[in-house]
């Protein structure tokens, strides 16, 4: 694999300072100036776990070209799907049998989740970032409007969201320890507890003690995306910052569970690398966590690449909707109890269809920008400056519209299914 970053991910650098531009080009063109992406930085907790080794072994030895239609049919005929069956379902041999896969996936979804579909919304509270991830709109070299909400502004955003009827919120930041400290995130989570029954975070990975702190602040679950599980490709795409350290990011969900979190979620960002291998690794990561922590609520997501500010050419190459549907059906058949989230990165039509087959959770009333819920929810001009978005969303339906559409499709929208006693 080439040591050069793929040109399709390059961003517009015209507005960077000469010094920053020189460093950026050096990181992109000269691998020798980058830190070792497999070595922990000072202060990063190391845990004793064999999950990463098991996942990477299976992924690195996965040759999906050897599977045949017979292997796929055998997997579909079994009551319980094992890892070998799952590999067959992810292979190209399964594509002509997608209809059969969808039927089996739908039966499994209805068996374990009925006709329910869970609704939540994300709230971005800051978009400062210290990482250089070449595909992300928040990356530290991208010239965007940066914004960090204060606690009063955060609460105002939460009030607006809560008035819509939403009961679950996912709090997100860019990955900047300096601008979005763990204390800042924790205080935001305490505010969220006043307005929402379920609180999740999707922030930079932290040590166990910090996850314990966030749990004390009211966090129920933690989402971390590995982006790609293929280490060489990961190294090419994450050139600077804490996110560059592959194993520390991989172990984030396990540290969160060690800290007492009720649930975790994860995935690759499909389209960054070989999506079949990344889909295998994503599911196996959650599978092994479930076996090690059977009390935990485990969820999978399935995000695909989307355009970002200063680079509208980013697309999830080779991962079309048909391939995405195959991945989701395979997930459901392999892990029938697992929650599956489909975000607003996908189209209305795709999300309306996939919730009848495999997905159990969708976002609504989504904004990936900072401080703009008032303008998007009420039509009023926001009282604060707005920060730029992380990526372009595809499905911009409001909470009310999403709720109605799900109901009209014969589904039962669920806002919360957890009671504190």
Q: Is 85 helix (H, G, I), strand (E, B) or coil?
A: helix
Residue of 30 and 373 predicted with greater confidence: 30
All structural domains of the chain, each given as residue ranges with its CATH number in brackets, are 7-414 (3.20.20.70)
pTM over 0.95: no
DSSP line for 32-60: GGSPPTTSPPTT-------HHHHHHHHHH
pLDDT, position 32: 84
Q: What is the dihedral of CA 248, 370, 304, 398, to 10 degrees?
A: 130
Q: What CA–CA distances, in Å, run from 177 to 9, 57, 346?
A: 25, 32, 30
Q: Is 377 helix (H, G, I), strand (E, B) or coil?
A: helix
Q: CA 201 to CA 127: how far, in whole Å?
A: 14
Q: What is the mean pLDDT of residues 78-102?
A: 97
Q: What is the pLDDT of residues 174-183, one digit of tens each?
A: 999 999 999 9
For helices 98-113 and 321-334, give the axis angle rounded to 10 degrees: 50
Q: Pull the structure tokens for residue 221.
A: 């679950």
Q: What CA–CA distances, in Å, run from 304 to 1, 63, 141, 149, 321?
A: 22, 22, 22, 28, 10
Split at pLDDT 50, 70, 90, the class of 293 is very high
pLDDT, position 25: 81
pLDDT at 248 over 60: yes
Q: Pull the structure tokens for residue 34.
A: 């980058």
Q: Is 151 helix (H, G, I), strand (E, B) or coil?
A: helix
Residue the block writes with tokens 């971390």: 224
Q: What is the pLDDT of residues 297-346, one digit of tens each?
A: 999 999 988 877 877 777 777 899 999 999 999 999 999 999 999 998 89
Q: CA 241 to CA 386: how far, in whole Å?
A: 25
Residue the block writes with tokens 């070449």: 134
Q: What is the mean pLDDT of residues 286-306?
A: 95
Q: CA 393 to CA 349: how far, in whole Å?
A: 14
Split at pLDDT 50, 70, 90, the class of 6 is very low
Q: CA 144 to CA 127: how far, in whole Å?
A: 9
Q: What is the pLDDT of residues 119-168, one digit of tens each?
A: 999 999 999 999 999 889 888 888 888 999 999 999 999 999 999 999 99
Question: Which residue in 419, 71, 52 sits closest to 262, CA to CA?
Answer: 419
Beta strands 221-227 and 263-268, pairing class: parallel
Q: What is the pLDDT of residues 255-266, one digit of tens each?
A: 999 999 999 999
pLDDT, position 312: 72
Q: What is the mean pLDDT of residues 35-46?
A: 95
Split at pLDDT 50, 70, 90, the class of 355 is very high
pLDDT at 8 over 50: no
Residue the block writes with tokens 């991208």: 142
pLDDT, position 4: 40
Q: What is the mean pLDDT of residues 245-273?
A: 97
Q: Which residues pair with 300 in a beta bridge?
A: 266, 340
% residues pLDDT > 70 (the chain): 91
For helices 83-90 and 275-292, give the axis angle rounded to 10 degrees: 150
Q: What is the pLDDT of residues 411-421, one digit of tens each?
A: 999 998 776 66
Mean pLDDT computed over every residue of the chain: 90
Split at pLDDT 50, 70, 90, the class of 213 is very high
Among 281-285, 342-346, 378-382, top mean pLDDT goes to 281-285
pLDDT at 94 over 80: yes
Residues 6+ apart with CB under 8 A from 141: 11, 13, 16, 20, 24, 132
For the chain, how big is the Rg over CA atoms in Å? 21
H or E element in which residue 367 lies: none
pLDDT at 285 over 90: yes
Residues 6+ apart with CB under 8 A from 264: 221, 222, 223, 224, 253, 256, 257, 286, 289, 296, 297, 298, 299
H or E element in which residue 218 lies: none
Question: Which residue in 9, 35, 80 sits closest to 287, CA to CA?
Answer: 80
Q: What is the mean pLDDT of residues 217-230?
A: 97
Q: Pull the structure tokens for residue 212.
A: 């314990």
pLDDT, position 379: 64
pLDDT, position 348: 94
Question: Which residue in 78, 77, 5, 59 sits closest to 276, CA to CA?
Answer: 59
Q: CA 413 to CA 254: how far, in whole Å?
A: 30
Residue 117 has phi, psi (to 5 degrees) of: -140, 130
pLDDT, position 3: 35
């Amino acid at each position: 694999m080439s040591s050069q970053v793929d040109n399709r991910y390059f961003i517009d650098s015209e507005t960077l300072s000469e010094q920053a531009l020189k460093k950026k080009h050096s990181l992109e063109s000269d691998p020798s100036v980058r830190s070792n992406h497999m070595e922990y930085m000072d202060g990063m907790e190391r845990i004793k776990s064999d999950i990463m080794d098991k996942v990477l072994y299976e992924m690195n030895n996965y040759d999906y070209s050897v599977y045949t239609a017979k292997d796929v049919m055998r997997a579909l005929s079994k009551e319980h799907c094992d890892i070998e069956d799952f590999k067959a379902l992810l292979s190209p041999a399964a594509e002509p049998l997608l209809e059969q896969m969808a039927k089996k996936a739908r039966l499994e979804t209805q068996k374990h989740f009925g006709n329910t579909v869970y609704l939540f919304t994300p709230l971005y509270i800051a978009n400062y970032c210290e990482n250089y991830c070449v595909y992300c709109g928040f990356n530290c070299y991208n010239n965007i409007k940066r914004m960090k909400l204060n606690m009063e502004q955060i609460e105002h955003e939460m009030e607006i969201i809560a008035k819509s009827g939403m009961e679950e919120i996912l709090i997100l930041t860019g990955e900047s320890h300096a601008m979005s400290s763990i204390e800042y995130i924790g205080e935001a989570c305490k505010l969220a507890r006043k307005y929402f029954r379920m609180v999740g975070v999707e922030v930079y990975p932290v040590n166990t003690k910090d996850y314990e702190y966030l749990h004390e602040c009211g966090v129920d679950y933690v989402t971390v995306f590995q982006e790609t599980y293929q280490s060489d490709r990961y190294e090419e795409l994450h050139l600077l910052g804490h996110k560059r350290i592959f194993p520390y990011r991989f172990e984030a969900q396990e540290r969160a569970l060690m800290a007492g979190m009720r649930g975790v979620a994860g995935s690759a960002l499909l389209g960054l690398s070989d999506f079949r291998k990344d889909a295998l690794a994503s599911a196996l990561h959650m599978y092994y966590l479930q076996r090690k922590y059977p009390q935990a609520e485990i969820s999978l997501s399935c995000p695909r690449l989307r355009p970002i500010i200063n680079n509208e050419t980013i697309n999830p190459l080779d991962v079309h909707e048909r391939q995405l549907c195959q991945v989701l059906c395979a997930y459901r058949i392999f892990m029938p109890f697992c929650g599956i989230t489909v975000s607003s990165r996908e189209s209305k039509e795709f999300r309306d269809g996939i919730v009848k087959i495999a997905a159990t959770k969708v976002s609504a009333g989504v904004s990936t920008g900072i401080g703009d819920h008032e303008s998007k929810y009420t039509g009023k001009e926001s009282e604060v400056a707005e920060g730029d978005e992380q990526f372009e969303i595809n499905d911009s339906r409001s909470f009310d519209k999403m709720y109605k559409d799900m109901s009209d499709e014969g589904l039962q929208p669920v806002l919360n299914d957890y009671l504190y006693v």
